[in-house]
Amino acid sequence: MSEHDISELEKSLGYSFSNKDVLIEALTHRSFYHEHSDKVDNYNERLEFLGDSVLGLAIVEYLFLYEGKLTESIMAKTKSYLVKESVLSDIASSVSLGKYLRLGKGEEATGGRKKRSLLADAVEAVLGAVYIDGGYHTAKELIRRLFKDKIDTIMSSGEFHDFKTALQEKTQLLFGSIPEYIMIKQEGEEHKKIFTVEVHISGEKFGTGVGKSKKEAETFAAREALNKLQR
């Protein structure tokens, strides 16, 4: 990695490493290590394992201190949502992490820089690297900056709750069928699309959802349908 690349990523993260080598290790995928084992000492899986624990603790601490004194159940569901692959890969994209990864030729050729699993692992590795380089307080502050919008959004929307599963279970019980999600429209530019989805049960519309992704729109539609069924 060039000094420019390192500096650019540090700027995106809002943190400057004292030991640049630990950041480089966090960005080194196993595939790169195997192709350059004569020149590369480590790859990022140990840091990923460490970062997973640091992330979990920081998220739980944030939720514990969140206004309104969340219940253990809500904290558990929210934490589970925040540390899943899709959310972590979104965090990676927000700082363009894929651009800086060191990948082997095979991973590079198969679109490794955009693979959700690889990006999610890299986020955890970088958080592990920040913990090693700057300590828990520094890592915690970075996690709070990166995840604050996600936390605030799901706390207001209830997205941490699996409304789609809950709706499917209820409709199977009441109607003996499963919900059908229908895309109504997509609006906006490619990177800022807004999706509108309807959920139908036994041919009847029970809810409509609008979101920044198809999944988010389906979640809101399922929540509306559940509310209708409960009424």
**The sheet that has 204-211: what strands, in order across it?**
180-187, 194-201, 204-211
Tell me: do 150 and 36 sit in the same domain.
Answer: yes
Catalytic residue among 52, 107, 216, 218: 52
Tell me: do 135 and 181 sit in the same domain.
Answer: no
Tens-digit pLDDT string for the chain (231 aa):
788 999 999 999 999 999 999 999 999 999 999 999 888 889 999 999 999 999 999 999 999 998 767 778 778 888 988 999 989 999 999 999 999 999 999 998 999 899 999 999 999 999 999 999 999 999 999 999 999 888 887 776 665 567 888 899 889 999 999 999 999 999 988 777 899 999 999 999 999 999 888 888 998 899 899 889 877
Tell me: do 50 and 94 sit in the same domain.
Answer: yes
Locate 80 and state its tokens: 């589970």
Reported as half-sphere exposure (CB side, CA atoms, 13 A), residue 113 has a value of: 12
The CATH number of the domain holding residue 10 is 1.10.1520.10
Q: Does the annotation count 52 as an active-site position?
A: yes
Tell me: do 137 and 25 sit in the same domain.
Answer: yes
Final residue before a domain boundary, out of 130, 157, 184: 157
Catalytic residue among 107, 124, 133, 224: 124
Smallest CA-to-CA distance from 17 within 146, 145, 139, 144 is with 139
Locate 135 and state its tokens: 């300590």
Residue 186 belongs to domain spanning: 163-230
Tell me: do 17 and 128 sit in the same domain.
Answer: yes
Between the alpha carbon of residue 96 and those of residues 9, 20, 45, 89, 99, the distances in Å are: 8, 18, 20, 10, 6
Q: Which runs of consecutive H residues, i.e. helices, occur in 29-71?
A: 30-35, 45-64
